[in-house]
């Protein structure tokens, strides 16, 4: 399985990932955090592709 990972040094807190997949991403203190180990609804590729600063990667668990 692939686990989404957010590079918080790059993230600008725009909320795009959370709007694509609120099950996995949550904005807190102006940064996106990953709140689920994996996504059951999508593979989060849309969030990866939609991030304006390419802060999200998918890593093998
Ligand atoms: S889409 Fe990218 S920049 Fe925007 S909140 Fe998510 S990780 Fe951060």
- For residue range 8-40, what is the model confidence (pLDDT) as tens digits? 999 999 999 999 999 999 999 999 999 998 877
Tell me how many domains the chain contains: 1
The pLDDT value recorded for residue 27 is 98
Lining ligand 1 with CB less than 6 A are 6, 11-17, 25, 27, 32, 51-53, 55-56
**What's the pLDDT band for 42 if we cut at 50, 70, 90?**
confident
Structure tokens at 53: 């600063």
For residue 11, give its domain range: 2-60
Q: What is the CATH number of the domain that holds 42?
A: 3.30.70.20
Spacing, Cα 4 to ligand 1 middle (Å): 12
4 HSE (CA, 13 A, CB side): 31
Instruction: Output the pTM of the full model.
Output: 0.92
Structure tokens at 41: 């609804």
The pLDDT value recorded for residue 61 is 75
Higher pLDDT, 38 or 55: 55
Closest CA to 24 of 12, 46, 10: 46
């Amino acid at each position: 399985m692939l686990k989404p990972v957010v590079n918080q040094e790059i993230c600008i807190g725009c909320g795009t990932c959370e709007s694509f997949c609120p099950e996995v991403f949550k904005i807190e203190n102006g940064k996106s955090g990953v709140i689920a180990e994996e996504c059951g609804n999508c593979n989060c590729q849309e969030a990866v592709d939609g991030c304006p600063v390419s802060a999200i990667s998918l890593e093998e668990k």
